[in-house]
Amino acid sequence: MAMIKWDVLIPKKTGDKIPVAFVLLELIIEIFFELYVVFPTLFEPFSQSYNIHLSIGLFLFFNFIGNFYLSIATDLTSGPNILPSVLKPDWTYCPTCMINSPPRASHCFICNICVLKRDHHCLYTGKCVGHNNQRYFMMMLVYFALGALYANYLNIEFTYEMLNSLNWRVVVTFFAPVIGWIFGFTQSLSFLTCLQCSTCVICLMLSLGMIYYHLALILRGQTTREWRKGIRRYNRGWCQNLLDVFGTRWYLIWLWPWISSPLPGDGIHFVKRDKNLENVKDI
């Protein structure tokens, strides 16, 4: 495992620091909430079911945080690859980086680099999503959704355990804690508990929406930018499109973020639907 690069974790743009801090803060609050409020209500400390649920929680947490880190720390540029000095068709010259930028790459003015197969600049990581880190970004979303789903499952069990019944007041308070608090439904279930439960519901819905949006684009072989411009020339069929993002060992990447899954492409040369792989001779 490579050394952790702490300096790259801090977003460059002030506007990105707020959403990144929100995600990490919410994650910490959620862990403490589950461990110190929900777990003691549901399980005997260090019993078999306590240990099983703790292991599931830790597995989800480390996979999320590992993919989060790698989607930030991965180099998104062409790295040691030498780019041609003559501008080829579909290539663009980037005056900031002073390089000829490959097809599908574009310059991010926040990251201040030319990102290979740039998808978008993510507010929640403070870094771009592109050819080299899209796998980590998608797995981060998947583990965020799974974590939120698991937390919701525990929270519903917890709510039921506390009230011994699921009536409409509990449902209202669970989804809209402020309304529950105003109407005085939260005598048994405290306002902060409800707030945390409903935050988990919102996180689940948000992450599912983002997975749906980005997976639909990946299956079509489009980046967000190409989707906006109606470019579909890099679609190689959903199966190859998935391999291009998740790598040749896609079936293992759910286990651990640091498991290697080499990408078939280099992020510089792309097969177009109408043409063969561009043969670029470096001059």
Choice from 49, 96, 188, 240 touching Zn ion (CB under 5 A)? 96
Work out how close the CB of 83 gets to Zn ion at its nearest, in angstroms, rounded to a whole number. 11
- How far apart are the C-alpha atoms of 39 and 32, rounded to whole Å? 10
For Zn ion, the binding residue among 23, 31, 97, 271 (CB under 5 A) is 97
| Of 267, 266, 257, nearest in space to 73 by CA | 257
What's the closest the beta carbon of residue 126 comes to Zn ion, in angstroms? 8
**With CB under 5 A as the contact rule, which of the stretches 82-90, 112-120, 176-184, 224-232 interacts with Zn ion?**
112-120
Comparing CB distances to Zn ion, the nearer of 117 and 121 is 121
Closest CA to 207 of 137, 139, 281, 145: 145
Long-range Cβ contact pairs of 206-215 (< 8 A, separation 24 or more): 207/141, 207/144, 207/145, 207/148, 208/145, 210/141, 211/138, 211/141, 211/142, 211/145, 214/119, 214/137, 214/138, 214/141, 215/138
**Active site annotation includes 197:** no
Instruction: Give the type of residue at 157.
Output: E
Q: Bridge-partner residues for 244, per DSSP?
A: none
Question: What gap in Å lies between CA 223 and CA 11, rounded to an integer?
Answer: 23
Residue list 47-76, contact with Zn ion (CB under 5 A): none
CA–CA separation, 20 and 190 (whole Å): 27
Nearer to Zn ion, 129 or 203 (CB): 129
Sole binder of Zn ion in the list 107, 135, 169, 214 (CB under 5 A): 107
Least distance to Zn ion, CB of residue 226, Å: 17
Specify the residue, 107 or 214, whose C-beta has the smaller distance to Zn ion: 107
Query: Among the options 122, 194, 200, 203, which is catalytic?
Result: 122
Residue 86: CB minimum distance to Zn ion, A: 18
- Alpha carbon dihedral 122, 225, 71, 256, in 10-degree steps, equals 120
User: Whose Cβ is closer to Zn ion: residue 127's or residue 169's?
Assistant: 127
- Is residue 201 a contact point for Zn ion (CB under 5 A)? no
Residue selected from 23, 27, 94, 271 as contacting Zn ion according to rule CB under 5 A: 94
Distance CA 180, CA 174 (A): 8
Pattern 120-139, binding to Zn ion, x per CB under 5 A? -x------x-----------
Helix, strand, coil proportions of the chain in percent (round to 5)? 55, 5, 40
Give the binding site for Zn ion (CB under 5 A).
Answer: 94, 96-97, 107-108, 110-111, 114, 121, 128
Active centre residues (catalytic): 122
